Amino acid sequence: MCANKSESGTMMLELQERVTELENWKDGKGLIIYGAGNTFCSGSDLNAVKAMSNSQDGMNMCMFMQNTLTRLMRLPLISVALVQGKAIGGGAELTTACDFRLMAPGSEIRFVHKHMGLVPGWGGAARLVRMVGSRAALQLLSGAARVDPQRALCLGLSEETLSSSDGTKALEEAQVWLSQYTEGPASVIQAVKKVVTVGRELPLEDALRTEKDIFGTVWGGPANLQALVRRPKHN
Ligand SMILES: CC[C@@H](C(=O)O)C(=O)SCCNC(=O)CCNC(=O)[C@H](O)C(C)(C)COP(=O)(O)OP(=O)(O)OC[C@H]1O[C@@H](n2cnc3c(N)ncnc32)[C@H](O)[C@@H]1OP(=O)(O)O
């Protein structure tokens, strides 16, 4: 899925439509979000921001994007943000709504909100704290720090720095990287993402109960029965 250079109101609606489609993708296993050209996403369209600078419109936009990105994060797909060029402001927040980030050489994730007199509103702060810890999150937000691929690796914000910044090659690299995690039946890959999501988000007792329910969807299923016939050796 290609992120837009900056998110106008129309583009925010389009993002929500894509997420709805992905929620209904029964055979889906993986998702790569990448930008067009040399920018991953530069956040809200500043022209749109000016037009909705009153409190009510700002809150509506904030809640709309927070809801959309939370739904993106909870998709039963293994998602990757392929960061080429800059991921600025809301664009940086969009990267945190994916399970993984892969960064091309020379790319940058930057939470510039402070320089806009703002704080993240699309859920990026809540997700960042959970990813890198509160101290590092505070440094990145209060410093509006440029996070290059090396610093992202050190922080645990990125999984890998790709070898190519060329658009097509970087996407191919990201596809190969993701394929190591999406091999297998969609039902099982989706169940894996679901149990990780509940383990991350629910209190223990609720997570255990939900994990049991998800286990029940794959136990004795086609993939399980076929494996019992194959009896693979895990050596
Ligand atoms: C909750 C957070 C959320 C919010 O508050 O709603 C936000 O995300 S606030 C917005 C945060 N984003 C920015 O402030 C980005 C500002 N832009 C830049 O920093 C730079 O443009 C860039 C993204 C680093 C790219 O720089 P560069 O490669 O040098 O290209 P240009 O600067 O020449 O940009 C090309 C062209 O694109 C326009 N542009 C870029 N970003 C935006 C944007 N967010 N909204 C509107 N337009 C944007 C830029 O103005 C140029 O247009 P032209 O001047 O017409 O060529």
pTM: 0.94
Please give the Cα distance from 49 to 113 (Å, whole number).
13
The protein residue whose alpha carbon is closest to atom 23 in ligand 1 is 42
Confidence band for 25, pLDDT divided at 50, 70 and 90: very high
Is the CB of residue 44 below 6 angstroms from any atom belonging to ligand 1? yes
Q: Which residues pair with 32 in a beta bridge?
A: 80
Please give the Cα distance from 92 to 45 (Å, whole number).
14
Check whether 3 has a pLDDT greater than 60.
Answer: no
**pLDDT digit string (tens) for 185-231?**
999 999 999 999 999 999 999 999 999 999 999 999 999 999 999 99
Q: What is the pLDDT of residue 149?
A: 98
Q: What is the mean pLDDT of the chain?
A: 94
Distance (Å) from CA 36 to ligand 1 centroid: 14
Q: Which atom of ligand 1 has the smallest separation from the CA of 38?
A: 28
Nearest CA to 120 out of 145, 96, 89 is that of: 89
Listed range (34-38, 84-88, 105-109, 209-213) with the worst mean pLDDT: 34-38
